[in-house]
Chains A and B, each alone.
Chain A
Amino acid sequence: MTGGDPAGVAHLYVHLPFCASRCGYCAFVVEVGREDARDAYLDAVLAELERERAVLGALDTVYLGGGTPTLMGAERLSRLLGAIAPMLAPGAEVTVEANPETMDDALAASLAAAGVSRVSLGAQSSRPHLLGILDRRAQPGDAERAVRAVRTAGIPRLSMDLMLAVPGQSAGDLAADLEWVVAQDPDHVSWYELEFKEGSAIARGPHSPPDDELAADLYEQAVEGLEDAGYRWYELANFARPGAECRHSLAYWRARDYLGIGVGAVSTLGGERRRNAPGLDRYIAALPGGEEPPRTREAVDADTRRRERWMLGTRLDEPLDVAWAGDPDNPEALVVLEDRGLIERRDGTVLLTRRGRLLQNAVMQQIMDFA
């Protein structure tokens, strides 16, 4: 079964891998520089989209991620969005990721004209010393300018990304970032804990992650601060004004099918998950001659799907429908977890409590046998 939803897949992700430099914490598929390859890459992406478009229905959400998608430049982005536009359902959410230093009035206006409804700004922090540790290129004032540009262009939704548990980050730093981001007034905030991913430069470098106690403090401080400012903690790392949740991300957490296009992009289509291989040149070479790009495939069998639905669904602040997700491997664990105040059960649903959400991994380990 690879066809997925009979009405067609409603969620499209396009990976645009180009970056001006690689950030220390990054373990994504990115291409530094390679300006010469950008036209060829766009052609390849359009060819892959053409190849795969049979699985698509009317698109409810589109997400251009990276990399730094804005490095593609206004013209290429317009071409890409123009190709996608006929596939959109009315009211579709179209998000583009952007680094603050790459956003200006002209680009914002061009994105708005191409139908972009949402910009996600990778600010990460307002604190120069933390931006330094993260190898971010933004200068003081860049983020504020980018926010103004998006607003001026009339793009209705704005999200900002921030990071916590950065080496050297204090409660004072977090409070400053909190005050700063609330002042920018985005309708959506993603506040991620920095991961020391294997293979990333920061994991090999001199910095060590903050201790567990401080990381927990910072996490709670971020959650409470944003809630006080009127944001809803609707996913473990995501916060939104009412109605401003990211519909594209919600599709992932609700374990919907999605099509990923571009180098390194992942798709989940029914019983199959497939990943385009990293490697820009091989991708460009395979397409647009009509060939399939190099890919790895992984079967998502019934047990895996059940465990993933639990793993993803309990990230949200909406109750998980057990009948939909499938039976827990260890139903008896639910009783213990409820007694200990980590989950709530009501009418065949399971919802993690606030304390349970911060322990989502451990809770999942109890409920399901990840094997």
Chain B
Amino acid sequence: MDQSHIRNFSIIAHIDHGKSTLADRILQLTGAISDRDMREQVLDSMDLERERGITIKAQAVRVMYTADDGETYQLNLIDTPGHVDFSYEVSRSLAACEGALLVVDASQGIEAQTLANAYLAIEGDLELVPVLNKIDLPAADPELHARALADLIGDDPEHVLRISAKTGQGVRDVLEAVVTRVPPPAGDPDAPLRALVFDSVYDQYRGVVAFVRVMDGELKSGQQVRAMATGSDFTAEEVGVMSPVMTPIGHLSAGESGYIVTGLKSLVELRVGDTLTLTASAAAEALPGYREAKPMVFCGLFPVDADDYPDLRDALEKLSLNDASLVWEPETSQALGFGFRCGFLGLLHMDIIRERLEREYDLDLITTTPNVEYEVTTTSGEMLEVRSPVDLPSPNHIEQIEEPYVRCTMLVPQDFVGAVMGLCQERRGNFVTMTPIENRQQVVYDMPLAEIVLDFYDQLKSRTRGYASLDYDPIGYRQSPLVKLDILLAGEPVDALSMIVHRDSAYARGKGLVERLKETIPRQMFEVPVQAAIGGKIIARETVKAKRKDVLAKCYGGDISRKRKLLEKQKEGKKRMKHVGSVEVPQEAFLAVLQLDGASGQ
């Protein structure tokens, strides 16, 4: 199709602000899906995502729309992931578009993630179409939010569309705005092929399916294709579009979006952000902006039952097929035995993976405290990447430790600004700016990522009664005075409970942690000292008192079998405990550190 009749666009919206409903309406209005086949939220295909109301994997849907000018346009709606952990994926989806709908709930207003993604779109020179959704709600305040939205993108409040995706009101105006305001693509159809991979999924029957936007040139099925960053070569086994199911069409030209069945066996061979070109006539230069998705958060995953280790390995392998950003390597813990150290894009990503392992693969897991990756320079000048506290060299071998920092953008109602700033200060944040947006403040802090991976988001929500929203972006590594905090049970260090903390908060953390462990570890036959130590020096101690009585009251001839069975049952109950030296430790203890703030009553 002539590029002047093509529009590539995406929808930027906060969770629950109505992105999926709007996408559904667009599919209905353009006849891409019949009302009868209408399934709520067609674009979110996984149950887990549906439950959490988020979208992990982007997809692209093509619809044909006959506009008020009588012309028929090809609209490619490119979906974007909706969470802070996936901002790189969002940026690639936006790079495939010339425009974006900026959808905001008319009763809630702008949220931090919307803001962050709007900035990404503005940086990428996308045409933003501001849309206020849910104007049918009684609490909607379209005038207030329209002004703020217009201010944000430097537009006239009159240009802000007011719609209800739920009732369908104004949705046609949205499509008209896409046609009239979003510019058509401007690629060179005669140049060598350059296609941006903005998403990829693994299908067990067809291998890796790539979602691409063709920037220049043309791609036909059967052609030999090369991924320029990974160097993978493959045949385009099938070329097509989602409308909204996979429909082979044989070729994609400059300006169009669609999918390619690659036959590749692993997502590692084809990364999001890569550029596809033809092996025979390769483009000289790849498209800009590629970077490898880098895991930011790490934790140990150990099977409760050591026999499940091979099953855990299989499950991780299977999940990796469809998730190139999940990394893992074997890890051995003295306390927990054999398991894996896993890396995730962020905390949500970690939660999703852990939940899928437990739910879909029926595994009983112990998760250790999440941590970030540290860059350690040793006294001999060596540079180490430390992903587990266990790997931290002893203090006298450390020249310096650097930790990843992020820039946190929070949107906070005026009344809670003090509470949020207090929280950020506690978490070693450096104040950057504060800007009023609507009736709220945009508060920006630079903070160690390590402080966020603990429970920052929960704390932020609880201290603002759920009103604050958060987005963050990595801004590089900074040197910090960090120390390893060890936990000793009955005098023995427990590697799986070690953590890396700031020197100034080590005492408070150590104290909180031993208090928490004291509550979590049941009484044993012996008194169990629970100690926190830094470099061999004990900084906090609690004691799990010895159990005084554990006896079967009476036992005569008629009771013997029953008593024996009681002991057998007790034994069964203990299987869920981990033996750490002579101490039986329940699974929850290994995550005790996450409840630190709750326990210390802050």
Contacts and interface: CB of A to CB of B under 8 A. Distances in A.
Interface of A: 13, 28, 190, 192-195, 212-213, 215-216, 219-220, 236-237, 249, 252-253, 258, 260, 264-268, 273, 275, 298, 304, 307-308, 311-312, 315, 336, 340, 342, 357-366, 369-371
A362 B547 contact: yes
B564 to A, nearest CB: 6
A358 B561 contact: no
Interface string B463-491: 00000000000000000000000000000
Given A195-B553, A312-B555, A366 B563 contact: no
Interface stretch (B78-86, B97-105, B567-575): B567-575
A252 to B, nearest CB: 5
B548 interface: yes
B552 A363 contact: no
Given A216-B549, A273-B560, A311-B564, A342 B554 contact: no
A371 B525 contact: no
Nearest to A307: B564
B409 to A, nearest CB: 50
A365 B556 contact: no
Contacts of A364: 567
Contact of A216 (B525, B548, B552, B558): B548
A308 B553 CA distance: 16
Contact of A366 (B525, B547, B561): B525
Contacts of A249: 556
Interface in B341-376: none
A304 B564 contact: yes
B558 A369 contact: no
A371 B571 contact: yes
A365 B570 contact: yes
Contacts of A273: 560-561
Interface residues of B, number: 26
A363 B552 CA distance: 12
B168 to A, nearest CB: 57
A339 to B, nearest CB: 10
A298 B523 CA distance: 35
A315 B568 contact: no
Nearest to A264: B558
Contacts of A307: 564
Given A370-B571, A371-B571, A358 B549 contact: yes
Contacts of B154: none
Interface of B: 523-526, 547-558, 560-561, 563-564, 567-568, 570-571, 574, 582
B557 A266 contact: yes
A340 B526 contact: yes
Nearest to A340: B526
Given A273-B561, A342-B525, A371-B571, A252 B556 contact: yes
A68 B303 CA distance: 53
A286 to B, nearest CB: 20
Contact of A361 (B526, B554, B558, B570): B570
The 8 closest A-B pairs by CB, nearest first: A193-B553, A216-B548, A370-B567, A216-B549, A361-B550, A266-B558, A370-B568, A362-B550
Contacts of A371: 568, 571
Of B549, B550, B558, B571, the most chain A CB neighbours within 10 A belong to B549
A154 B574 CA distance: 52
B548 A212 contact: yes
Contacts of A342: 525
Given A253-B555, A359-B549, A365-B570, 17 more contacts: A212-B549, A220-B548, A236-B552, A252-B556, A252-B557, A264-B558, A265-B558, A267-B557, A273-B561, A307-B564, A308-B564, A336-B582, A342-B525, A360-B552, A361-B550, A361-B570, A370-B571
Of A264, A268, A365, the most chain B CB neighbours within 10 A belong to A365
Contact of A252 (B548, B551, B560): B560
A219 B549 CA distance: 9
A361 B552 contact: yes
Contacts of B547: 212, 359, 362
